[in-house]
Amino acid sequence: MEKIKVIIVDDHKLVTDCISLFLKSAPEIEVVGIAHSGKGALKLLGEVVPEVILIDISMPEMSGIETTEAIKKKYPDIKVLILSMHSDYDNISDAIDAGADGYVPKDVASEELIEAISAIQSGKNFFHTTISDEIVRNYSTKRKKNVSALPQLTKRELEVLQLFAEGYNNTEIADKLFLSVRTIESHKNHILQKTNMKNSVELIKFSIKHKIIEI
């Protein structure tokens, strides 16, 4: 039986060592590389091309979301499985938008991790029960609110918009939300598109009109 080639990406060596040790004991999986940063993962892909990449979200310089997006643009056939301690809707939504094929929490059972790898390698999507529940819960909440104009913005986008309207620059917003400047810029572009605003001044007016900030 041909093994599923896997790369593990996490900035904590202990995490990658533990996952690698476990996966190497699985007869259907072959760990072909380990990287400790997003940039390291992209460099590694120049040397070996896996079928599945396990990626953490919280990494310095280049987040797992940004890494996923970069991988999917250059290597669309590679499957990406997010393995993260963050199970909130914003991170899940960002991961899906970036092209992730699956998402499981770091406390997932070892058997389910193998199941997730096998599933996405075969072309399926795989979302752990807690992740699926969060998606459904958030969707249901949005439908119940039924508020015009604002439901189209995610919670993260609203946070970015509020801080921007309050006068914070991209770097300051990134520091406050523990995200990269590039991610903040991406969120702002999405906000402009969703609200049909043309510039920063119009965004501030939008924030005042919808009482996202008070004057």
Output the pLDDT for position 214.
61
> Domain ranges in the chain?
4-134, 155-208
The predicted model scores a pTM of 0.66
Q: Provide the token pair at 56.
A: 């953490």
Residue 149 pLDDT = 47
- 79-84 and 29-35 beta bridge pairing: unpaired
What sign results for the dihedral spanned by CA atoms 31, 35, 39, 43?
A: negative
What pLDDT does residue 146 have? 42
Other Cβ atoms closer than 10 A to 74: 11
Q: Which tens digit of pLDDT belongs to each residue from 94-133?
A: 898 899 999 999 989 888 999 999 999 999 989 888 887 7
Alpha carbon dihedral 137, 138, 139, 144, in 10-degree steps, equals 90
Evaluate whether 110 touches 83 at the Cβ level (below 8 Å): no
Which residue is it, tokens 């996966």?
A: 23
pLDDT (0 to 100) of residue 140: 53
Domain 155-208, CATH among 3.40.630.30, 1.10.10.10, 1.10.275.10, 3.40.50.720: 1.10.10.10
CB 125 within 8 A of CB 92: no
Q: What are 3-21's pLDDT values in tens digits?
A: 999 999 999 999 999 999 9
Degrees, nearest 5: CA angle 100-102-106: 110
Give the strand pairing for 102-105 and 126-127. parallel
CATH of 4-134, one of 2.60.60.20, 3.40.50.150, 3.40.50.2300, 3.30.1370.60: 3.40.50.2300
Query: Tokens at residue 34, please?
Result: 């380990």
Distance CA 55, CA 9 (A): 5
HSE of 142, CA atoms in CB hemisphere, 13 A: 15
pLDDT tens per residue across all 215 residues of the chain: 689 999 999 999 999 999 999 998 899 999 999 999 999 999 999 999 999 999 999 998 899 999 999 999 999 999 999 999 888 888 888 898 899 999 999 989 888 999 999 999 999 989 888 887 777 677 555 544 444 445 578 889 889 998 988 888 899 999 999 899 999 999 998 888 888 887 777 787 778 777 777 65
CA atoms within 13 A of residue 123's CA, in its CB half-sphere: 0
Structure tokens at 99: 């092209």
> At a CB cut-off of 8 Å and minimum separation 6, what does 190 contact?
157
